[in-house]
Structure 1
């Protein structure tokens, strides 16, 4: 007999993998070869604000979910993938505007790799921002990383805690995805 938590967990993990794979596939085929300029910077700021709104919507959804911890895990992974792809796209757009922004020309893989090394604060040093604009964008990402890890993580985990308390008060089991 199946454990009651197994099916929702499998569905949640499958959804996270499919959504993440689709977002990465969109990044892979997106025509990111225009120059990074004021419009790109505004698009990044707007997208990050949209991610903040999405996080608030996800928190409300988590609180009402019959499986708040699974829903929080899914929301965190989805938000992280969007966050990383926004910056990877920005770095790629910046580099496509001409050489001199990074220590080497960036491919889509290089941009994503650089974004993840900055996010994880590993910073191998093989790709480094060399222009002022690239250093500013990298600094913005580093500050955004702190906000993401602190605020977004806290909001989603608090929503999961509240959702679990609500579920416990109503007596409904945590077996839905």
Structure 2
């Protein structure tokens, strides 16, 4: 039987690596398309705040589901990288949409009115802790939302990375012990 060609970094077949990259790319592209097309002109009210919280809870649920996928995967490192490559951009888009909504409803919230591109740029500079100072939250609501993103960034970078690494370790330990081969979720279609 011919052995599939392996990449050196992940020790997985090239086909599986390409499939993982394709899944991540499609998820990010769809998220960007939704961000560009969804109307972000609704009024700010308690429903908007609830929508942001629900979206972040759904995001956390998807990450939890991905952790289970990683733990069952025959290639947990690849699945962890895929989760980060998909989850990070989606997380940033969630906050970017919130900034657009805030800016459209309260133009004085930031040092300039934020369109979608400006909001995404601001979100990335906050996430990267660069803080160029060209866009600044001015009102209390804008500062609170920005602080919420900063705290969520710490959780994303710290806790999520730790959880993903733990899931990889558990899957690799199970594989190396030979006690049971984790099912390969990539082949089962999930």
* Aligned-partner Cα distance in 2 for 1:92–1:176: 37
In 2, the alpha carbon distance for the partners of 1:149 and 1:43 equals 23
TM-align CA RMSD: 2.0
For this pair of structures, how many residues does the alignment match?
Answer: 177
Pairing 1:157–2:165 present:
yes
Structure 2: tracts of 5 or more residues without a match:
7-11
8 Å contact from structure 1 (residues 63, 166) kept in 2: no
Whether 2:94 is the aligned partner of 1:86: answer: yes
RCO comparison, higher one (Cα < 8 Å, 6+): 1
Aligned to 1:138: 146
User: C-alpha separation between the residues in 1 aligned to 2:176 and 2:16?
Assistant: 18
How far has the Cα of 1:119 moved from its partner?
Answer: 0.4
2:109 corresponds to 1:101: yes
Query: Which sits farther off after the overlay, 74-83 or 56-65?
Result: 74-83
Q: Provide structure 1 residue ranges, at least 5 long, that are not aligned to the other structure.
A: none
Check the 8 A contact 1:72/1:160 in 2, yes or no. Answer: yes
Instruction: Tell me the TM-score normalised to structure 2 length.
Output: 0.86
TM-score by length of 1: 0.92
Q: Superposed, which structure 2 residues align to 1:52-63 within 5 Å?
A: 52-63=60-71
Structure 2 counterpart of 1:110: 118
Rounded to whole Å, the distance in 1 between the matches of 2:69 and 2:169 is 13
Report how far residue 172 of structure 1 moved.
Answer: 5.6
For 1:176 and 1:10, locate their aligned partners in 2 and report how far apart those are by CA, in whole Å: 15
Q: Please say if residues 36 and 90 of structure 1, whose CA atoms lie closer than 8 Å, have aligned partners that are also in contact.
A: no
Equivalent residue number for residue 65 of structure 1: 73
* Aligned equivalents of 2:144, 2:185: Cα separation in 1: 44
**Offset at residue 176 of structure 1 (A):** 7.8
Instruction: Specify the SS of the correspondent of 2:41.
Output: coil
